[in-house]
Amino acid sequence: MDEKVHIIFLLLPLVSSYRYEGDEVNLTLAKTEAKLLHEKISKKAYSDDELIRILATRSKPQINATLNHYKDEFGKDINKDLKADPKDEFLALLRSTVKCLVRSERYFEKAARLAINKRGTDEGALTRVVATRAEIDLKIIADEYQRRSSVPLDKAVAKDTTGDYEKMLLAILGHDDV
Ligand SMILES: *[C@@H]1O[C@H](CO)[C@@H](O)[C@H](O)[C@H]1NC(C)=O
Ligand SMILES: *[C@@H]1O[C@H](CO)[C@@H](O)[C@H](O)[C@H]1NC(C)=O
């Protein structure tokens, strides 16, 4: 299998609802793994199995602790270090992954906003945002969207989409009666 395809399969648990969701954080583990992530990133070993395993399987609170420690210990946000080559698509995917894990509501709100604001809606992007709701609280995204855009998210979706596609998105957003 192509290496990139393999990597994408490894990253799939990120946006699925199968990630382990305990609240407890192991600080020893956070420190060890922050160090490991930093080593791999310094060596530009971005598709290293261990790096992927950490990002793909640790609970969100555990990743958050690891990334906080990473910043304290090494002086930079992991995402700054992952910007070494801004054109590299795999690095962009890793950065999105990190944002998605650490600030999921804000990340998805921004993705929804960008998808809607493009001339004509990017239907693929909008569907991805709405369809990953299993992982995140759509209400938080909708509130954040309204706060920033002064328009309710469902109104923006309704204005920007048509037909069955609109019906499907609105149904997912919780408006079965359209
Ligand atoms: C925390 O992680 C370390 C390193 O993996 C492990 O040795 C230790 O048993 C863990 N502690 C708890 C309470 O799970
Ligand atoms: C992650 O850590 C930051 C800084 O300690 C904290 O403000 C934030 O609420 C944490 N987020 C999660 C999802 O645990």
Residue 60 beta carbon below 6 angstroms from any ligand 2 atom: yes
Which of 20, 23, 27, 29 most suits a substitution to test ligand 1, by most atoms within 8 Å of the C-beta? 29
160 has binding-site annotation = yes
**pLDDT surpassing 60 at residue 136:** no
Question: What confidence score (pLDDT) does residue 13 get?
Answer: 47
User: What's the rounded Cα separation, in Å, for the pair 66 and 64?
Assistant: 5
Instruction: Express each pLDDT in 109-119 by its tens digit.
Output: 776 677 677 65
Contacts 24+ apart (CB under 8 A), 160-165: 160/116, 160/120, 160/121, 161/121, 161/123, 161/126, 165/123
Separation of CA 64 and ligand 2 centre (Å): 6
Ligand found nearest the CA of 62 = 2
Q: What is the pTM of this model?
A: 0.62
Let me know the angle formed at the C-alpha of 161 by 159 and 162, rounded to the nearest 5 degrees. 105
Separation of CA 102 and ligand 2 centre (Å): 7
Which of 26, 27, 32 most suits a substitution to test ligand 1, by most atoms within 8 Å of the C-beta? 26
Residue 57 beta carbon below 6 angstroms from any ligand 1 atom: no
Separation of CA 24 and ligand 1 centre (Å): 11
Within 10 angstroms of residue 120's Cβ, the number of other Cβ atoms is 7
Residue 26 beta carbon below 6 angstroms from any ligand 1 atom: yes
Structure confidence at residue 85 as a pLDDT band (50, 70, 90): confident
**Domains of the chain, earliest start first:** 3-102 (1.10.220.10), 105-172 (1.10.220.10)
Instruction: Express each pLDDT in 51-69 by its tens digit.
Output: 888 887 788 889 999 999 9
